[in-house]
């Protein structure tokens, strides 16, 4: 089969590899659609260190069951599925939800993922794909679940002001969930004019290009001291600090961005202004099921985020363009 094989920083060619076989307790899935995640782009450059050479990435995917290993029940060849990438290697009861568990592992990072024609997963990772959910939208259930989880643990009262720092897929989906939770004015900041235009199309009340304007001053001026809630969806020092500076005293900040391992932050501002800063990572099984339901029921309009659908053969060049900043497409979906 064909697969995008990560060979090291800036090297991810399409290669032929042996067709995977489902061993006992495993399921073979033919990949119909897989989204390109920003974390994989960062992994491709080697900047995060979370991707090991010799791995097939890809964790946002859906497909068709095509093979069952010994001992697998409840599934059959031809079943259409959305796959949760998290799985546990715990040998006994685990007191943590999967996204917080020290036993958590991930398809596409700890074992071969879905930038390939086929992938082997565990039955517990399978969720049935609703018939009305397209393959492309099914591939976006994973990032939708990420942002659903972030919104669910973030207090947002009706009509409160919200800032979204970063207009990539995660930031824009967080914006949509903030609106679902009853947010009033939503302000989105980024340095990409294209992504800010898309934010407006999706319902942002105000967009600010940080390359042209002082975002913090503008936000504090238009809100009378800062937003009630800020979501940081980039994961580097300048944007983390922007979230702190743009939030009112006593406000809420949720960090979703996960790019830089270490950042520098004004801790005194957090302490003396009594800001609440929380981290959010991934999602649990309940969040994932809810994301599928929300997508199938049309609660979130994510269709505009999918700006290109491409073949696996085009993947290497698309990764290069995204990593080099030559493309600012919000979401690319590959169809292996």
pLDDT value of residue 259: 86
pLDDT value of residue 50: 76
pLDDT value of residue 219: 98
pLDDT digits over 225-270, tens only?
999 999 999 999 999 999 999 999 999 999 999 888 899 999 999 9
At CA 329, angle to CA 181 and CA 129, rounded to 5? 55
3-state helix, strand and coil shares in percent for the chain, rounded to the nearest 5: 30, 25, 45
pLDDT value of residue 175: 98
Beta-carbon contacts of residue 80 (< 8 Å; ≥ 6 apart): 62, 63, 64, 65, 128, 129, 131
Which two tokens mark 331? 């979401």
From the CA atom positions of the chain, what is the Rg in Å? 20
Query: What sign has the CA pseudo-torsion 192, 194, 195, 199?
Result: positive
Residue ranges in the chain modelled with pLDDT below 50: none
Topology classification of domain 154-279: Rossmann fold (3.40.50)
Record the pTM. 0.95
Which two tokens mark 124? 């517990």
Query: What sign has the CA pseudo-torsion 186, 192, 198, 200?
Result: positive
pLDDT value of residue 244: 98
3 state DSSP class of 304: helix
Domain ranges of the chain: 2-143+283-334, 154-279
User: How many Cβ atoms from other residues are within 10 Å of residue 64's Cβ?
Assistant: 16
Topology classification of domain 2-143+283-334: Quinone Oxidoreductase; Chain A, domain 1 (3.90.180)
pLDDT value of residue 193: 96
**Residue 329 and residue 55: Cα distance in Å, rounded?**
25
Share the mean pLDDT of the chain: 96
pLDDT value of residue 263: 94
CA dihedral 272, 282, 239, 151 (to 10 degrees): -60
pLDDT digits over 198-217, tens only?
999 999 999 999 999 999 99
């Amino acid at each position: 089969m064909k697969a995008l094989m990560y060979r090291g920083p800036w090297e991810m060619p399409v290669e032929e590899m042996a067709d995977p076989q489902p061993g006992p307790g495993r399921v073979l899935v033919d990949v119909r659609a897989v989204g390109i995640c920003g974390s994989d782009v960062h992994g491709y450059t080697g900047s995060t260190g979370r991707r090991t050479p010799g791995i097939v990435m890809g964790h946002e995917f859906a497909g068709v069951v095509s093979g069952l290993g010994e001992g697998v029940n409840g599934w059959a060849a031809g079943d259409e599925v959305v796959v949760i990438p998290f799985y546990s290697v715990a040998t006994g009861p685990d007191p943590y939800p999967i996204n917080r568990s020290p036993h958590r592992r991930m398809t596409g990072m700890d074992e071969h993922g879905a930038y390939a024609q086929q992938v082997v997963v565990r039955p517990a990772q399978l969720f049935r794909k609703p018939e009305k959910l397209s393959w492309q939208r099914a591939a976006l259930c994973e990032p939708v679940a990420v942002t659903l989880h972030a919104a669910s643990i973030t207090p947002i009262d009706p009509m409160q002001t919200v800032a979204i720092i970063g207009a990539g897929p995660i930031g824009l989906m967080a914006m949509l969930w903030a609106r679902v939770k009853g947010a009033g004015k939503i302000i989105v900041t980024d340095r990409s004019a294209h992504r800010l235009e898309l934010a407006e199309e999706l319902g942002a009340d105000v967009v600010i290009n940080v390359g042209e304007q002082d975002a913090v001053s503008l936000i504090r001026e238009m809100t009378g001291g800062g937003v009630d809630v800020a979501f940081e969806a980039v994961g580097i020092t300048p944007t983390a600090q922007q979230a702190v500076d743009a939030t009112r005293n006593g406000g809420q900040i949720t960090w979703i961005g996960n790019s830089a391992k270490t950042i520098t932050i004004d801790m005194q501002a957090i302490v003396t202004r009594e800001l609440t800063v929380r981290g959010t990572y991934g999602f649990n099984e309940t969040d994932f099921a809810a994301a599928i339901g929300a997508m199938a029921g049309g609660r979130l309009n994510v269709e505009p985020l999918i700006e290109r659908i491409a073949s696996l053969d085009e993947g290497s060049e698309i990764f290069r363009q995204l990593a080099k900043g030559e493309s600012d497409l919000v979401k690319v979906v590959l169809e292996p």
